[in-house]
A and B are shown apart, each in its own frame.
Chain A
Amino acid sequence: MMKLHHIILTLMVLFLTWTVKSAAQDNAEDLMKKAHLVMFYSGDDGLTDVTMKIVNSGGKERVREFTMLRKDLVEGGKQDYYTYFRQPHDVSRLSFMVHKIPDASDNRWLYVPAVDLIKRISADDKNSSFVGSDFTYEDVSGRHWTEDNHKLLREDTYNGRAVHVVESIPKEAYKGFSRKITFIDKEYLLPVLEEYYDKKDELERVFTAGNITAIDGIMTPTLRKMENVKKGQYSTVEFNNIKYNVGIEEDIFSERYLKNPPRQFIK
């Protein structure tokens, strides 16, 4: 009898810990999903001017200026991006278009106006640097939350504000990171700090989002920074003239407008 009691008790304890643990996992995944949607899917569409600074370990600074348009086709799913470069001179007037498909490879096109050339770009490696910066293509358009297992580590404070701290581990071996710690602002549900660990489990890159401003009622971090602590270099982006829900049509993200920037949005 004692034995049966033991077994039942053990099973009950196991069941309880399992439910509690999976609830915590659900909770963590839910948090990451919400944070992803706020960060990368705000509004139905959006546009912003971007100033990107790339600072190498010697302190030398390079600047890129571009305008980015985004349209969400499916909330949390397919998205279209359009980037029009202004500076530096060798990329000025260049445009770049991405049809992002979360479960598959993105489709990417580049238009080089000096030779009137449309080039399709292979998009196998999402870890490639975005225009030579410390941001990768994946950092720019976001890593889908379903690609990682998430665990809520603790509740904490960061810069005097309450945050959730979530650990994410890729479901499949991934060269971008082996482990990621995300600090999510409890009120805004925005990721404000991310720590990326490499395969040796050493801290490699740190992302911070700041200057959170309400734009059309949407809380938007207008200053973002990615620091490569191993290489001693960093890149920052500053968003200006942000607008949401401006009615960008889907056909803007086509070859026609790749060659002819939509001047109603891109001055």
Chain B
Amino acid sequence: MLNKVARGFAALLLFLLAIPMTGAGETYFTGFLQGLYGGGLDSNNPTSSEMTASETRLQLRMESFSNSAEFFGRLDFTYDDYYEPATDLELREGFVKFKLGGKFDFQIGRQIITWGTGDLIFINDVFAKDYQSFFNGRDDQYLKAPQNALRASFYSAPGTFNIVFTPRFTPNRIPTGERLSYYNPMAGEIVGGSDYYFEGRMPEAEFKNSEIAARFSRYIGTADLALYFYHGFYKNPTGIDMMAMEAFYPRLNVYGTSVRMPILGGIAWLESGYFDSRDDNSGDDPTVPNSQLSSLIGFERQLTSTLTANLQYQNKYMIDHDKYVNSLVPGMIRVDEMYHLITARITQLLLMETVTISAFGFYSPSDEDFYGRFSVSYKYTDALTLAAGANIFDGTEDYTDFGAFKQNDNVYIKITYGY
């Protein structure tokens, strides 16, 4: 507890120190206070609590800039009692950005990073996600988890180069069995509760285990094109160390490309990435994912002036499926050579955009599973927003991407006061 208070003061001090650092041209403070309360719909869910959320969150944002440098920080204080009362403090972002000459931009510190074209489908965006938050009704901004990184951008006539260096590997935040249950391959079933709290084994804190993500992008006509590269680890602990009976993060490279352009009165995007599973080059290790080629196509357009809809199709092709099948031990789950996923989003705005109704569905015909996100929000005033929503999972099998969470169906309400 004392440790947390100390960390809080340290973070606040950092905020205040940042003012002179940027020359204190201008400084702004903003933020919000939010209550989120959610409950599970499945009483057999083996988690520690039937609440999926019961938290009060205060976000403090500080922005300070001059012509030459800029500081931005977001600090979240939460009181969370979905299971046992606890307070938490997280520096969501805290970075400095500055220009060097006319062509270089740097952004250094704790930051949230996004690239790629998909709508809630990520291929070349190998930056940390927070699926715990995503599945329990927190705002969309919490889907992305921060990374401590150095980001450099170089602007030139042929296009823009970005490079993101993350010294310490930052994994995704996935359901651990505490708040949300998950499928445990060693137990062979959906598990939760304190006996199954789950944590993947991190790579050693060594320089060679850092992450590097790079992108080159440029416009051609009205299309934006990009090439991507990633060197690091799978962001989910998809490898199993049979000796230690531990899940770990296998080594990964990703090579990819994307195009996005206006067409047929809407926006279309295409993205693909080759996932090179470096701990299983020959494809015959059943405890590490095989290399895959993942492709995505999507289209979005306005149907009326207040209604927008989009559709996406993604597939993942396993490169060495035969070897993979041969390597399986009887009783192990067999994954298909080709995975298919279809998503649809529809957003309706009402009452001068004060009411937003949104539905997003993921459906995999090959895995026979489903995940739906539904929400309604109402901006009562500029400051006060009321929202309610639901997260619904379904699946024929327990071990598929969404089927693994099928006991976590939940509904929530959320109240936000911004200042």
Number of interface residues of A (CB under 8 A): 37
| A26 CA to B113 CA, complexed, in Å | 54
* B30 close to A132 (CB less than 8 A): no
By a CB distance below 8 angstroms, the chain B residues around A93 are 63
Instruction: Judge whether B32 and A89 touch: CB under 8 Å.
Output: yes
Bound: A94/B267 CA distance, A: 20
Q: A140 interface residue, CB < 8 Å from B?
A: no
- The distance from the CB of B78 to the nearest CB of chain A, in whole angstroms, is 17
A105 to B262, CA, bound (A): 9
Residues of A within 8 A of B351 (CB): 56
CB distance from B70 to the nearest CB of A (A): 7
Most B-side CB within 10 Å, residue of A114, A127, A233, A260: A114
Interchain CB contact (< 8 A) of A107 among B65, B153, B262, B381: B262
User: Hey, which chain B residues are within 8 Å of A128, CB to CB?
Assistant: 302, 305-306
B101 beta carbon closer than 8 Å to chain A? no
Instruction: Give residues 59-100 of A contacting B (CB, 8 Å).
Output: 60, 62-63, 87-90, 92-93
Give the interface SS of chain B, mostly helix, strand, loop or mixed.
Answer: strand
With a cutoff of 8 Å between Cβ atoms, the chain A residues found around residue B418 in the complex are 88-90
**Quick one: which of A115, A127, A132, A255 contacts B114, CB cutoff 8 A?**
A115
- Contact pick for A116, options B113, B306, B379, B416, CB 8 Å: B113
* A122, B308: Cα distance in complex, Å: 9
Contact A115 B144 (CB under 8 A): yes
Kindly list chain B residues whose C-beta atoms are within 8 Å of the C-beta of A90. Answer: 379, 385, 416, 418
Contact between chains at B302 and A124 (CB < 8 Å): yes
Q: Does A105 lie within 8 Å of B352, measured CB to CB? A: no
Q: Does A117 contact B (CB under 8 A)?
A: yes
Contact between chains at B114 and A116 (CB < 8 Å): yes
Does B282 count as interface, using CB distance less than 8 angstroms?
no
For the complex formed, measure the closest distance between the CB of A164 and the CB atoms of chain B, giving whole angstroms: 31
Contact between A256 and B305, CB atoms less than 8 A apart: no
Interface centre among B141, B262, B308, B351, by most A CB within 10 Å?
B262
CB 8 Å contact bits of B363-395 with A (1 = contact, 0 = none): 000000000000000010111010000000000
Kindly list chain A residues whose C-beta atoms are within 8 Å of the C-beta of B113.
116
Which of the residues B26, B265, B300, B383 comes within 8 Å of A267, measured between beta carbons? B26
- Among residues of B, the one whose C-beta sits closest to the C-beta of A120 is B267
Contact with A along B59-75 (1 / 0, CB 8 A): 00001011100100000
Contacts beyond the supplied A90-B385, A116-B112, A129-B352: 5 A-B pairs with Cβ under 8 Å: A56-B351, A62-B354, A115-B112, A233-B352, A263-B67
